[in-house]
Amino acid sequence: MQLDGSLAIADRIRKRVEAERDARDLELRAVRETEHRLAGEQARLIDSVHRDEVVRTEQRMRIDLLRQRSVDELGTDPDVLIEEYGPHQLVPPSLPAPGDPVPAEGKEPQPMPYERAKQEKRLRAAERALTLLGTVNPLALEEFAALEERHTFLTRQLDDLKVSRRDLLEIIREVDERVEQVFTEAFNDTAREFVGVFSRLFPGGEGRLILTDPSNMLTTGLDVEARPPGKKVKRLSLLSGGERSLTAVAMLVAIFKARPSPFYVMDEVEAALDDTNLGRLIGIFEELRESSQLIVITHQKRTMEVADALYGVTMRGDGVTTVISQRLRDEVIAVPDPPVAAESVG
């Protein structure tokens, strides 16, 4: 029983000691954390003191350099310089620096209180302007005279160019007016002739020339409206090949009649025409031959029959081509320019 009591007492004492030991460990950990924090704070304070010492040393050196510069460059004691030109003195008026507000007209600039930020800004602007000026150029007067002479020459050239440009614009205007006038007259004549020629080639049909932009005769396009007899379509793309070919011939003949020429050359313009339409076209050829010479390249026999002379190209048995000719109407020999000639290629 005594042994059990002793063990119980010893166990209580052990637990109490362990609890005290844990408490001492916590206190020790807290003390070490405090020591570590204070050591860091001490290091920061030491660094701050060191930086302050360095800054103070640099400031003392800068002040000493400025004092020495005041004596060397200005020949004035620093105390006198500060007293006469210190920030407590008003800044005397001076020429406006770049960026300064322009004083009102008739108002003289007045002394102003010293403002460090404002004066530093004016200093930087003045330094930039001085840098842009560069070093002193002893040849500046000669260069200025040369540039002034060059400027005078270029000014005269520019005036001449302006006059030339004005004259050219006037010429262009006159040419445009003349072109517009000639084109308008030619179009009106051609459109009038086209109506008559088309009605002859397409009896009972209607055809006309229209402008895409009548308000601007210099850039307008030209459309052809053709309605053969018995059809309602007017677009050329919807016509047959023969109708399109005959419409093109009508367009050419209208141009020939509106603006006659001494001779015309046509290359197989009637190749796609049937006998009826060919007969109508030959009738128009007969009218054109009264005032002009026609050179027609054709394979149509009926066209050859109305020709005054035929010229053909044939190939002999040895493979050599030969040009042959045949005059069909002797009475045209006395005519200086034969009215019609037909060429057959075979």
pLDDT at 339: 39
The rounded distance, in Å, linking the Cα atoms of 59 and 61 is 5
- Determine the pLDDT at residue 232: 75
Q: What is the dihedral of CA 262, 267, 268, 270, to 10 degrees?
A: -40
Please tell me whether residue 28 adopts helix, strand or coil conformation.
Answer: helix
Match domain 262-346 to its CATH number in 3.40.630.30, 3.40.50.300, 3.20.20.80, 3.30.1490.20.
Answer: 3.40.50.300
Q: Give domain limits for the chain.
A: 147-259, 262-346
Q: Is the dihedral of CA 309, 314, 316, 320 positive or negative?
A: positive
In angstroms, the CA 67 to CA 169 distance is: 73
In angstroms, the CA 166 to CA 79 distance is: 72
* E strand or H helix at 264: strand 263-267
The pLDDT of residue 341: 44
Mapped onto helix, strand or coil, the DSSP state of residue 252 is helix
Instruction: Tell me whether residue 192 is exposed, middle or buried, using C-beta atoms within 10 angstroms of its C-beta: 0 to 12, 13 to 18, 19 or more.
Output: middle
DSSP label at residue 100: S
Give residue 151's identity as a one-letter amino acid code: H
Q: Which two tokens stand for residue 179?
A: 């072109």
The β-bridge relationship of strands 340-345 and 293-297 is parallel
Q: What is the DSSP letter of 335?
A: S
Check for a shared fold between 147-259 and 262-346: yes
Candidates 3.40.50.300, 3.90.1150.10, 3.40.50.10710, 3.40.350.10; CATH matching 147-259 = 3.40.50.300
Beta-carbon contacts of residue 109 (< 8 Å; ≥ 6 apart):
93, 94, 96, 103
As a 3-state breakdown, the chain gives helix, strand, coil percent values, each rounded to 5, of 60, 15, 30
CA atoms within 13 A on the CB side of 249: 28
Among candidate residues 259, 252, 266, the one with its CA nearest the CA of residue 307: 266
Q: Alpha-carbon distance 135 to 150, whole Å?
A: 24
Q: How far apart are CA 34 and CA 57, in angstroms?
A: 34
What string of pLDDT tens digits covers the 346 residues of the chain?
Answer: 677 778 888 888 888 888 888 888 888 998 989 989 889 889 999 999 999 999 999 999 988 888 888 888 888 888 888 888 788 888 877 766 555 666 666 677 778 888 888 888 888 888 888 888 777 778 888 889 999 999 999 999 999 999 999 999 999 999 999 999 998 898 899 888 888 888 888 888 888 888 888 888 888 888 888 888 877 766 777 777 777 888 888 888 888 888 888 888 888 887 877 788 888 888 888 888 888 888 888 888 888 888 888 888 888 777 788 888 888 765 443 333 433 444 443 3
